[in-house]
Copies of this chain bind each other. A is one copy, B any other.
Amino acid sequence: MSVDPVLARIDSDLPNSLDRLLELLRIPSISTDPAFKKNCDQAADWLVADLQSMGIDASKRETQGHPMVVGHSDGPGPHLLFYGHYDVQPVDPLSLWHRDPFDPEIQDTPKGKVIRGRGAADDKGQLMTFLEACRAWKAEHGTLPCKITFFFEGEEESGSPSLIPFLKANADELKTDIALICDTGLFDSRVPAIVTMLRGMLQEEITITGPDKDLHSGMFGGAAINPIRVLSHIIAALHDENGRITVPGFYDDVPDLPDDMMAQWENLGFDHKAFLAEVGLDTLAGEAGRSALEMLWSRPTCEVNGIGGGYQGDGFKTVLPSTASAKISFRLVGQQDPHVIRDRFREMVSAMLPPDCTIDFISHGASPASVMSVDNPAFDKARAALSDEWPDPAAFVGSGGSIPVAGYFQSILGTESMLIGFGKDDDQIHSPNEKYDVDSFHKGTRSWARILAALTQG
């Protein structure tokens, strides 16, 4: 089964492939917001129907949260699992979008054609690259080149609460020789990448309560504790003057980067000034003495993702609020145990509370970092296949984002993952005006065809 006619069909079928993606992008499957529960269901149904249209035995599988989609296709050779997620991030602030986030379109831009809309890059556009490669392969050869299990979840953007139970309950069904995960990016527009190091994540929400009701700041201000001030003190104390995180023992299980990996990363010639300039910045803001790629790929972080308290509307209200809240996330690396870090964080923060204040914690997820074992020959085969498609050879890289599913595949299924994706730094995922380059989509689809050929025929 030659890959060449498959590549030709991918090229000629591109307009139809884009139409199918736009259809999926029109479904507002925001998993973190209960108001969109039906739409998540709808996106799962759409994927089941699409897999079935290719003759794949697919079904929607209910969970406590949003459903999983699982499909099986028989074939010769090795057994692959392909993973993507059909849920998307919320769209606020909506006012910053130039068009309805769920009315996607193909746009001409100075940098080329893009698919604009929520989920275009994260992860519906990426997910569809693999489906389109399979569709073309099947259309050309009447069958897929190997046995493939398709596995799509709908809770990736909301902490994947159903993922571990589902993997445990269906481990026999989902266990394969290797997993392919399409939720990462290119190193740059010339260099494709296979991610071999993923940061873990701990997501905590804290709410400080002072007075038992909102107060008038004139009648009580100065005498009564203000929870916004308490919260600000706590957040300000989470980093020292060198940008290091102050949670006790936080760096105990953070490994030094191996010299050879450090050397490989330095060779990538990453231009952090250009990277920051894309988002209006100029200066590295993280840990003193670390390079940008270290900060992004191999060092842990602590960020505040949201804060709120008191009056935030137009005008002014002289309220002394009863509560103030923040959403705080830690990116974890190496052997950092998210549950140990969580306990230490909670202890530290609780110890900082002044009299009359209480604190509530809500956990929004905790997953360790994962490091892939690149000894598996599939990694080199995939790297060669990617290098054939793109201008420059593919690289093994780290990733700043947390894709805990790779760790769960390792620990629950015993399956190693290859994380291959075609996103770009300027895709504005999780932000207004998210896009995915048509080039990412097209060459991404072609890349999967080449990888399928390499893994099954090499």
A interface, CB within 8 angstroms of B = 32-34, 89-90, 92-93, 96, 157-159, 199, 201, 203, 205, 210-226, 228-229, 231-233, 235-239, 272, 275-276, 279-287, 292, 295-296, 299, 301, 303-321, 324-327, 329, 331, 354-356, 364-365, 399-402, 425, 428-432
Contacts of A237 in B (CB 8 A): 236
Contacts of A356 in B (CB 8 A): 276, 280-283, 285
- The smallest beta-carbon distance between A219 and chain B, in angstroms, is 5
Q: Are A221 and B315 in contact (CB under 8 A)?
A: no
- The smallest beta-carbon distance between A352 and chain B, in angstroms, is 11
- The smallest beta-carbon distance between A197 and chain B, in angstroms, is 13
Give CA–CA (A237, B232) in the complex, Å.
Answer: 9
Given contacts A218-B399, A292-B223, A318-B203, contact A281 B210 (CB under 8 A): yes
Out of B224, B283, B431, which one reaches A216, CB within 8 Å? B431
Across the two chains, which residue of chain B brings its CB closest to A277?
B212
Q: State the 8 A-B residue pairs at the shortest beta-carbon distance, nearest first.
A: A212-B280, A218-B401, A32-B315, A306-B310, A232-B235, A222-B301, A316-B364, A236-B236
Q: Are B316 and A305 in contact (CB under 8 A)?
A: yes
Given contacts A232-B235, A281-B356, A285-B226, contact A303 B325 (CB under 8 A): no
Contacts of A158 in B (CB 8 A): 315-316
Q: Are B281 and A316 in contact (CB under 8 A)?
A: no
Q: Are A307 and B324 in contact (CB under 8 A)?
A: yes
Q: Are B281 and A430 in contact (CB under 8 A)?
A: no
